Amino acid sequence: MTQISWLIALIPAFPLAGFLLNVFLVRGERANGTVASLSIVAAFITTVIAVINLAGMAAESRFIAITLWDWLAVGRVTVSFGLWFDPLTAVMALLITGVGALIHIYSITYMHGDSRPGRYFAYMNLFVFAMLILVMSDNLFLLFLGWEGVGLCSFLLIGHWFDRKHVAPGIVPSEAATKAFVVNRVGDAGLLLAMMAIVSHFGTLSFFGSDGFSGFVSQLTDASFTTISLGAFGNVGLVSGIAFLIILGVVGKSAQLPLFVWLPDAMAGPTPVSALIHAATMVTAGVYLIVRTHAVFDLAPDASGWVVIIGATTALIGATAAITQFDIKRVLAYSTISQLGFMIAAAGMGAYTAAIFHLLTHGLFKALLFLGSGAIIHGMHNIQDMRRMGGLRKHMPVIFLVYIVGALALSGIFPLAGFWSKDEIIAHAWYGAQNINVTVILLLSSLLTAFYMGRQVALTFAGEVRDKDAHPHEDLGSMKWPLYILAVASVLGGLMNLPGVHWLNDWLNPVLHQEAELFTLSMGIFAAVTVLLATGSGYLGYRIYSGPIGARITPGDEDPAHYYLGDIWKGFEMGWGLDYVYQRIFVKPYRTLSLFLHDVFDQQAIDGILVEGSAEMVGRFSQAVARIQNGNVRTYALVFLIGVVVLVGYVVIGA
């Protein structure tokens, strides 16, 4: 192995070491936080050095394959524990370790006084490790390890406060954790099936092989006309079949329609965990997977079409749900779903660079918003309901400043990061894919985005504090610098891929083979119009909720818009009722069946007849037998005599 190979192998090794240290050796809150943060910072520095090394290589050979050891060898299939480092992995690793490090540092203050700091920081490190494995693996099997790893860590961290009954109305941490895990399993099944289909047809799970050409990706073109029989359901093309199965995995992990229901509840965990899930790890995995296996989707236009539909619909659903929420983190959670919809839609339209661009910028400003909201919750002593906030601008000036930056970036206001990446997606829908429906849906979602951010800022910061019992204060500690850095990054993030400069596009070109779109005047006008609309919409949201209408909202109230829109608003609020539908179709019948099996089958058949019945039978039999043993010697002698007579009689007569 060469020097840079060692360096790359070190990137996931640091978080793993941090995890092991925190589990086995390090005790004490301060030490836990320091070790965890240092390990991620070290991973970030290593990543930066590796990326600089990578940039020094020739553009077309910018990949480093490292086979650490052979993991599984079953028949003709060998799965190696192999890492793969190319420009796509590089930007993902930078985001994961960079934002991850800031979140870890932030956590030191945020989690101060928590009863289980060792557990928390250990799982945070494991989370980053799993995500790094996910983006750095050179085959689907190892990717799946990371995929499951982030699922496990999300479960563990969402349920960090498993002993608390509720952190917000209706949200129980242990239930939210289970929900996230179970919903993810549904998607995981799809990815698992996709892996099986790939390994059975191509004999390998490696994307590119150690030379860059021997993986299944390079065999896809030959297989583009292969069909597989589904029995009574007819035939389906192999490649599109694989693509659809991958989509199932993606909608689970990236919280897309119809499996996004776990993400809004995932805020039951500590806020830095939400930041980690929403920005750096976990939900971006689905987008990454589509882009990584983009060769599959290039050959499966029908599947890609569905990706666009799923992404665009999710973007709209997420945005409409976000405008109705009162929980400060729930707004952001639905916002993430919506923004992930943008990325997925972009990936479906073949705009992979735009998808990754939005993934990166979103990672920056969503981390900023979540950490900002965490600081607000921290300063409000665990109040999350925006109806009880208001007027925080006076009490938390620093948070107000960085939060405004994050909100503007998310709303897509020129010239912040979100503007460039979101506009690239919408522009691609209009100019590239020329799909007017998708363009309109995305545009509408984008306007709603600005609206709900305006609403949130108004409800949180404008006016006076509605809850007179609250004592807002600003005490940032180690939370300060992560917020500053992310705020700066949210402003400058767009520089990655400015029109006409498009560094990110050039950087990803060896992987994605996408030429940068030419920037035309009409695009500029298009962008200007969208920005004006977004600004107007955001201002509208701010005006409505900062004015007298907003001031009248008290804790427990419905939103004023509920008065005009009624059930439609209620439907938005419930995430279009998907939770309700699942509750009715899956959870309730399953619970009824379980209760039936519990009451009738388990309690009566198993417990009643088999367990207690058999015990009772043995007991009664023993009591009957015990009566013979009365201790009376003469009875014993009689029984003995009868026995001897029978035995001797049998021997004599039988012989």
Partner 1 sequence: MLPTIFYIGLSVLLFVIGVCGVLLRRSTLMVFMSIELMLNSANLALVTFANQRQSIDAQIMVFFVITIAAAEVAVGLALLVMIFMRKQTTNIDTMTTLKG
Q: Is 626 in the site for partner 1 (CB under 8 A)?
A: yes
**What residue type is assigned to position 605 of the chain?**
A
Q: Report helix angle 352-379 to 417-427, nearest 10.
A: 140
- Taking the complex as a whole, the smallest distance from the CB of residue 625 to partner 1 amounts, in Å, to 8
Smaller CB distance to partner 1: residue 2 or 622? 622
Q: Where does this chain touch partner 1 (CB under 8 A) — which range of 30-38, 194-202, 404-412, 624-632?
A: 624-632
Strand partners, 81: 69
Smaller CB distance to partner 1: residue 25 or 626? 626
Q: Where does this chain touch partner 1 (CB under 8 A) — which range of 30-38, 189-197, 462-470, 631-639?
A: 631-639
Residue of 311, 319, 518, 536 lying closest to 435 (CA atoms): 311
- Taking the complex as a whole, the smallest distance from the CB of residue 637 to partner 1 amounts, in Å, to 5
Smaller CB distance to partner 1: residue 113 or 631? 631
Q: How far apart are CA 341 and CA 597, in angstroms?
A: 40
Smaller CB distance to partner 1: residue 503 or 636? 636
Q: Which of 58, 74, 633, 651 binds partner 1 (CB under 8 A)?
A: 633
Q: Where does this chain touch partner 1 (CB under 8 A) — which range of 332-340, 418-426, 530-538, 635-643?
A: 635-643
Q: Which of 3, 229, 382, 630 binds partner 1 (CB under 8 A)?
A: 630
Q: Is the peptide bond before 258 cis (omega within 30 degrees of 0)?
A: yes
505 in helix, strand or coil? helix
Smaller CB distance to partner 1: residue 600 or 642? 642
Q: Measured at the alpha carbon of residue 296, what is the angle toward residues 496 and 251, in degrees to the nearest 5?
A: 75
Q: How far apart are CA 642 and CA 639, in angstroms?
A: 5
Q: How far apart are CA 54 and CA 45, in angstroms?
A: 14
Q: Which of 182, 230, 436, 637 binds partner 1 (CB under 8 A)?
A: 637
Q: Is 647 in the site for partner 1 (CB under 8 A)?
A: no
Q: Is 624 in the site for partner 1 (CB under 8 A)?
A: no
Binding mask 36-75 vs partner 1 (x if CB under 8 A, - otherwise)? ----------------------------------------
Q: Where does this chain touch partner 1 (CB under 8 A) — which range of 117-125, 311-319, 359-367, 623-631?
A: 623-631
Smaller CB distance to partner 1: residue 492 or 644? 644
Q: Which of 3, 229, 382, 629 binds partner 1 (CB under 8 A)?
A: 629
Binding mask 534-573 vs partner 1 (x if CB under 8 A, - otherwise)? ----------------------------------------
Q: Where does this chain touch partner 1 (CB under 8 A) — which range of 85-93, 279-287, 420-428, 637-645?
A: 637-645
Q: How far apart are CA 649 and CA 41, in angstroms?
A: 91
Q: How far apart are CA 343 and CA 340, in angstroms?
A: 5
Residue of 189, 343, 357 lying closest to 255 (CA atoms): 343
- Taking the complex as a whole, the smallest distance from the CB of residue 633 to partner 1 amounts, in Å, to 6
Smaller CB distance to partner 1: residue 605 or 648? 648
How would you label 179-217 residue by residue, b for 16+ Cβ within 10 Å and e otherwise?
bbbebbebbbebbbbbbebbbebbebbbbbbeebeebbb
Smaller CB distance to partner 1: residue 617 or 645? 645
DSSP 205-248: -BSS-TTSSSSSGGGTGGGTT-EEE-GGG-EEEHHHHHHHHHHH
110 in helix, strand or coil? helix
Q: Where does this chain touch partner 1 (CB under 8 A) — which range of 349-357, 567-575, 591-599, 632-640?
A: 632-640
To 10 degrees, the CA torsion angle through 590, 594, 596, 598?
A: 180
Q: Is 634 in the site for partner 1 (CB under 8 A)?
A: yes
Q: How far apart are CA 556 and CA 559, in angstroms?
A: 9
Q: Is 646 in the site for partner 1 (CB under 8 A)?
A: no
Q: Is the peptide bond before 169 cis (omega within 30 degrees of 0)?
A: no
CB 357 within 8 A of CB 420: yes
Q: How far is CA 341 from CA 170, 355, 414, in A?
A: 26, 10, 21
Q: Is 641 in the site for partner 1 (CB under 8 A)?
A: yes
Q: Is 632 in the site for partner 1 (CB under 8 A)?
A: yes
Q: How far apart are CA 127 and CA 121, in angstroms?
A: 10
Smaller CB distance to partner 1: residue 604 or 635? 635
- Taking the complex as a whole, the smallest distance from the CB of residue 627 to partner 1 amounts, in Å, to 9
- Taking the complex as a whole, the smallest distance from the CB of residue 622 to partner 1 amounts, in Å, to 9
255 in helix, strand or coil? coil
Q: Is 229 in the site for partner 1 (CB under 8 A)?
A: no
Q: Is the peptide bond before 415 cis (omega within 30 degrees of 0)?
A: yes
- Taking the complex as a whole, the smallest distance from the CB of residue 613 to partner 1 amounts, in Å, to 23
Counting residues that bind partner 1 (by CB under 8 A) gives 10
- Taking the complex as a whole, the smallest distance from the CB of residue 590 to partner 1 amounts, in Å, to 50
Residue of 298, 107, 123, 320 lying closest to 220 (CA atoms): 298
- Name the site residues for partner 1 (rule: CB under 8 A): 626, 629-634, 637-638, 641
